[in-house]
Amino acid sequence: MFNFILRRTAASIPVMAMVAAVVFAILRLTPGDPAAIIAGDSATPQQLEEIRRMMGLDEPMYVQFLIWIWRLLQGDLGTSLLSGVPVAEMIGQRMGPSLALCLSTITLSVLVAIPLGILAAWRQGKPLDRLVMAASVLGFSVPVFVTAYVMILVFSLKLGWFPVQGYKPLAAGLWPFAQALVLPTIALSTVYIALIARITRTSIIEVMGEDFIRTARAKGLRERSVLTGHALRNAAVPIVTIIGVGVAMLISGVVVTESVFNLPGLGRLVVEAVLARDYPVIQALILLFAFVYVFINLIVDALYTVFDPRIRY
């Protein structure tokens, strides 16, 4: 296992390098000039040239890339072109809301979706199964921002149960912290609940036809024990896989959700940096998201051996 982790870590280095090169090239080749955004509409050509020189944008693209990579290897993510604040400091300030939203979304999705998938598989072809699958199709089809606005209309504006927008840190109290995350978490988790529930149902239905399930039933085990102790454990590999794959969707969903609910997280920072063409911030955030995705997939691969002893690396 240790050798496998080392190999996967080494293999992720070229992936991260490719992501860095592609992101750097795309940002530099897209239309727009960050110097013009900073200087404003009334800036003279001389002022624009001076700003480009100060920002290093007058250098050839390969020189800018090499300078950025060298600083990155030294742990320097750069400085925001607009605010002048170090990018690492900006990410640290915005990490809390995004981390809280992601953890609450994953937790809620797993706790709700897996029991729904088990129930749907147990009652295959029955009304309960059709209801769960219909709800899954609906949850997977409706965009996150539509769900978010509907929930704001009903639970915030009509009923007044939750705030429309904003974020409260945990230091402000447990209830204000949870109250600000309820609607964003539910809105973001609908897609993942639908996805995980469908995969759980399909995986358990496939396992239910195996010989060891018939043997467990012949031994007189209760149906709940058969479903949770035997079927679910042997169907866990595809379920864990889809949870890991959902991280990529979660990253894109966080951007939309934080914008709708005005959460000061990394997703909102991405939108602000893209609109302002703040190159160092965009590059650092995309590299961070890519690293998280690679790391989650490494954890998922390692968990395969826990759920299926037949898998060995």
Q: What is the pLDDT of residues 32-79, one digit of tens each?
A: 666 666 666 666 677 667 767 766 666 777 777 887 788 777 777 777
- 8 and 103 inside one domain: no
105 and 220 in a single domain? The answer is yes
Distance, CA of 116 to CA of 125 (rounded, Å): 14
Are 115 and 58 in a shared domain?
no
Say if 289 falls within a structural domain. yes
Structure tokens at 125: 């072809």
Dihedral sign computed on CA atoms, order 241, 191, 102, 182: negative
Residue 102 lies in a domain: yes
Domain range holding 43? 2-73
Top mean-pLDDT range of 21-25, 95-99, 168-172, 253-257: 95-99
Tell me which of 241 and 224 has the higher pLDDT: 241
User: What token pair was written down for 306?
Assistant: 């826990």
Any idea what the CATH number is for the domain that residue 273 is in?
A: 1.10.3720.10
Question: Do 59 and 159 sit in the same domain of this protein?
Answer: no
Instruction: Please report the pLDDT score of residue 133 as a whole number.
Output: 84
Q: What is the 3-state secondary structure (H, E, C) of the chain?
A: CHHHHHHHHHHHHHHHHHHHHHHHHHHHHCCCCHHHHHHCCCCCHHHHHHHHHHHCCCCCHHHHHHHHHHHHHCCCCCECCCCCCEHHHHHHHHHHHHHHHHHHHHHHHHHHHHHHHHHHHHCCCCHHHHHHHHHHHHHHHCCHHHHHHHHHHHHHHHCCCCCCCCCCCHHHCHHHHHHHHHHHHHHHHHHHHHHHHHHHHHHHHHHCCCHHHHHHHHCCCCHHHHHHHHHHHHCHHHHHHHHHHHHHHHHHHHHHHHHHHCCCCHHHHHHHHHHHCCHHHHHHHHHHHHHHHHHHHHHHHHHHHHHCCCCCC
Residue of higher predicted confidence among 150 and 306:
150
Q: Are residues 47 and 112 in the same domain?
A: no
**Which of residues 73, 105, 125 is at a domain's end?**
73
The first and second tokens of residue 106, run together, are 């994953």
Rounded Cα distance, 148 and 261, in Å: 8
What's the whole-number average pLDDT of the chain? Answer: 78
Q: For 272-306, write each residue's pLDDT tens digit.
A: 888 777 778 888 888 888 888 888 877 777 777 76
Cβ partners under 8 Å of residue 312, min gap 6: 305
For residues 229-249, average pLDDT: 76
- Give the pLDDT score at 36: 64
Q: Is the pLDDT at 201 greater than 80, yes or no?
A: yes
Q: How far apart are CA 40 and CA 164, in angstroms?
A: 33
Query: Using an 8 Å Cβ cutoff, are 48 and 39 in contact?
Result: yes
Phi, psi of 205 (to 5 degrees): -60, -40
Asked whether residue 122 falls in the same domain as residue 176, the answer is: yes
Mean pLDDT of 243-253: 75
Domain co-membership, 147 together with 197? yes
Same-domain check for residues 105 and 58: no
HSE at residue 95, side-chain half, CA atoms within 13 A, is 11
Does 312 fall in a domain?
A: no
The rounded distance, in Å, linking the Cα atoms of 167 and 52 is 36
82 in a structural domain: no
**Residues 61 and 101 reside in one and the same domain:** no
Same domain? 67 vs 98 = no
Percent of the residues in the chain that have a pLDDT greater than 90, as a whole number = 0
Spatial contact of 203 and 168, defined as CB atoms under 8 Å apart: no
Domain assignment of residue 81, yes or no: no
The answer to whether residue 88 is domain-embedded is: no
Q: How far is the C-alpha of 208 from the C-alpha of 270, rounded, in Å?
A: 45
CA distances from 305 to 155, 241, 265, 309, 310 (A): 43, 13, 34, 5, 7
Rounded to whole angstroms, the Cα distance separating 164 from 170 reads: 18
User: How many structural domains compose the chain?
Assistant: 2
Instruction: Check whether 202 has a pLDDT greater than 80.
Output: yes
pTM score: 0.77
In a domain, 84, yes or no: no
Residues 35 and 180 in one domain: no
Residue 286 lies in a domain: yes
Token pair listed for 77: 């993510």
pLDDT tens digits for range 62-74: 777 887 788 777 7
Are 298 and 239 found together in one domain?
A: yes
